[in-house]
Amino acid sequence: MAERKREKRDPQQRRAEILAAAFACFSERGFAATRMEDVAARAGIAKGTVYLHFPDKEALFTELVSGIATPILGQIDGLAANEAIPPRFAIAMFYTLFKREVLETERRHLLRLILAEGPMFPAVTEFYHREIISKGLGVLRILLARAAARGDLRNPAIAEVPQIVIAPALLSIVWTTLFEAYEHLDTQNLFDAFLETLFVPEGGAK
Amino acid sequence: MAERKREKRDPQQRRAEILAAAFACFSERGFAATRMEDVAARAGIAKGTVYLHFPDKEALFTELVSGIATPILGQIDGLAANEAIPPRFAIAMFYTLFKREVLETERRHLLRLILAEGPMFPAVTEFYHREIISKGLGVLRILLARAAARGDLRNPAIAEVPQIVIAPALLSIVWTTLFEAYEHLDTQNLFDAFLETLFVPEGGAK
DNA sequence: TGTTAATGACCGACCAGTCAGTCATAAACG
DNA sequence: CGTTTATGACTGACTGGTCGGTCATTAACA
């Protein structure tokens, strides 16, 4: 009869379990179509229990999307810190990191969620701009300036538009979550080709 | 007492009015948060009337997003047709067209809608891939191949990844609808810088 | 006057959030 | 140690409200 066992848990762990369940549900169905009961069921608890840990659906959502981003923050800064690393290599690392940590994990759905639900949750959008985008652009600006100074850029003017570096990453997210079923995109090839376009060929200037 | 005047209309015109109202509502609130009553009110009619023209909410939505795209279709093909037009100029035109017809109009919200709600409506996604994306990529592939043959591309390899050309357009959509409030992005500059990166400088090879 | 289009009150499914009650655990007691 | 009692995490039936969709009625038109 599938008897449900009551089970007390460490609040921290419970919280984490709920967030994990919410992550799965929101990722695959979006905010509006996800029911709190679904989240509870996925976490293996009753609906009421969710409300012991989060005041309401919106709080659960914003907490989730904000929380997921934080671990990525640290890795970004590291890329610009070491001046010995060639800019091209650093940006290649950026794409590799993005591919391994976002594109090829379930996190990609989260990122798409932010694109999708962003306008409904200004607080989330603002958070992402402040904590991820503007920091990321800052790092890229430094890297591109350094590359321009070394004469590594085919077009030094792009040092002023670091968003260009993000464009292929964004495209890869949208493509894989929307169109991959109809037409495959080789993201590695995308990133490689793009890097080769931004930077002068390796053989050229050392 | 604000008596509502009943008014019969040409069915075609009524239909168009409903679609226009739906466009406004869906654009600013998304699919789930838009109520059929809102659409009706915006169109200046009663809720029931909407159902005389569209079987249900989903049909209204899919009809809308599909319909909006069609007029753009024609303009795309024109770009590759004329072999006398230099590829760089054609792609610059593509960006200009995109900017004038989408980015700087209310249509940009529609495009974001597709990104946002796409996974919930596979039929819409499939339609867009088939009718817009794959056609657009086809045109770009031709243009890039032509450019490569003329020696216009700094990195001829990108002729194999036409998606790269779309990336800045996608970025501009996402940025203007999500982050523009926090940080301005000069899209013209973005497109210009990108073009200058893809193509060898004008002065160089004629 | 008959036909067609429009209306909006109404229905019922759905769901976020509540709360009175349950029970596993563990502290206090004898 | 066994037994009693206190705790609060957990449960799920329930409520209040919302909204997609229907249809009997009514107005406009031919």
| CATH number of the domain bearing residue A22 | 1.10.10.60
Helical segments of chain B, H only: 11-33, 36-43, 47-53, 57-81, 87-98, 107-117, 122-128, 134-149, 163-174, 187-198
Q: Which CA-bearing residue is nearest the C1' of C18?
A: A48
Which residues, including other chains, have CB under 8 Å from residue B109's CB and lie 6 or more apart?
B27, B28, B177
Q: Mean pLDDT check: name the lowest of A27-41, A190-204, B62-76, B115-129.
A: B62-76
When pLDDT is averaged across residues B155-162 and rounded to a whole number, the result is 96
Q: If you average pLDDT over every residue of chain A, what do you get?
A: 90
Residue A205 banded pLDDT, cuts 50, 70, 90: very low
Residue B5 banded pLDDT, cuts 50, 70, 90: low
Q: Quick one: A50 and A65 in the same domain? A: no
Residues of A in contact with B198 (CB under 8 A): 197
Return the higher-pLDDT residue of A206 and B153: B153
Structural domain that includes position A107: 56-198
Q: Quick one: B125 and B31 in the same domain? A: no
pLDDT at B74: 75
Q: Is the CB of B62 under 7 A from strand D?
A: no
Look at residues B39, B11, B37, B13 and name the one whose alpha carbon lies nearest to residue B25: B39
Q: Quick one: A103 and A15 in the same domain? A: no
Q: Is A86 left (phi over 0), alpha (psi -120 to 50) or beta?
A: beta
What is the per-residue pLDDT across A78-119, written as a single tens digit (0 to 9) for each? 777 788 899 999 999 989 989 998 999 988 988 888 988 999
Q: Quick one: B15 and B104 in the same domain? A: no
Compute the C-alpha angle B88/B90/B91, nearest 5°: 65
Residue A204 banded pLDDT, cuts 50, 70, 90: very low
Determine the residue among B29, B95, B110, B155 to mutate to test chain A binding: the one whose Cβ has the most chain A Cβ atoms within 10 Å: B155
Q: Does some domain include residue B3?
A: no
What is the per-residue pLDDT across B74-102, written as a single tens digit (0 to 9) for each? 777 777 778 889 999 999 998 998 999 89
**Position A123 pLDDT exceeds 50:** yes
Identify nearest nucleotide to residue A49 by CA to C1′ distance.
Answer: D10
Q: Quick one: B118 and B182 in the same domain? A: yes
**Tokens representing residue A93 in the block:** 């690392």
pLDDT at B206: 38
Q: Quick one: B51 and B62 in the same domain? A: no
Q: How many domains does chain B have?
A: 2
Q: Quick one: A145 and A179 in the same domain? A: yes
**Position B59 pLDDT exceeds 60:** yes
Task: Kindly report the pTM of this predicted structure.
Answer: 0.90
Q: Is the CB of B16 under 7 A from strand C?
A: no
Backbone angles phi, psi at B184, to 5 degrees: -75, 140
Q: Quick one: A151 and A69 in the same domain? A: yes
Whether B94 contacts B79, CB under 8 Å: yes
Distance in Å, alpha carbon of B3 to nearest chain A alpha carbon: 34
Q: Quick one: A89 and A75 in the same domain? A: yes
Q: Which residue of B has its CA nearest to A115?
A: B116
Q: Mean pLDDT check: name the lowest of A5-14, A133-142, B30-39, B157-166.
A: A5-14
**Position B4 pLDDT exceeds 60:** no
Look at residues B94, B97, B200, B170 and name the one whose alpha carbon lies nearest to residue B139: B94
